[in-house]
Amino acid sequence: MKTANELYLEFEAATNAFLDKVAALSQSEINTVPFEGSWTAAQVTDHLCKSDAAMIQTLNGPVQPTNRQPDKMVDNLRNVFLDFSTKLDAPEFIIPSEGPLDKDSLLTSFKAGRSALGKAIKALDLTATCHMPLLSNPTRLELISFVIFHTQRHTNQVTRICEKLVAMS
């Protein structure tokens, strides 16, 4: 099982990789639909902001002691979210807003959420079980792992969006 510090470093690396991709886009590019049926990079960022808000609420919400390995679901989460050959559907509550969206506001929101998540990783008992039936009541460690893999998945998506934008110009 990873330590809180190891998890934090992995979280920071995933966050920074995503931020580097999105921050490099202009206001126009971040709101450009790269191909039919795709979200814009702004919408991907909005989606992560909404997801992060739900994760922060769950991490800081009621918990109970865990009666299993605290990282039991991590491998499954990794396999699902890092399988880029599959399309996953987002739950309704984290579907992104229609564009165009303001790049600076999105990045400010994203960074604020990530700061709150980082504080949770450092301060909370990561072995405790959260109340989140949507994810089979994960531990905080599993929830942070979800955030990491979810971020990596969307970093891959934004990378593909950027490649398409370059091809379009």
Task: Say what angle helices 140-168 and 41-59 make with each other, to 10 degrees.
Answer: 170
- What's the confidence (pLDDT) of residue 134? 86
pLDDT confidence of residue 135? 87
> What's the alpha-carbon Rg for the chain, to the nearest Å?
16
pTM for the model: 0.97
pLDDT at 169: 77
- In order of their start, the domains of the chain are 4-168 (1.20.120.450)
Which amino acid makes up residue 143?
Answer: L
Q: Residue 9 corresponds to which tokens in the numbers above?
A: 């470093």
Residue 63 is predicted with a pLDDT of 98
pLDDT at 99: 80
Q: What is the largest CA-CA distance in the chain?
A: 54
Of 100, 88, 89, which is closest to residue 42 (Cα–Cα)? 100
Q: Could you say which residues of the chain have pLDDT below 50?
A: none
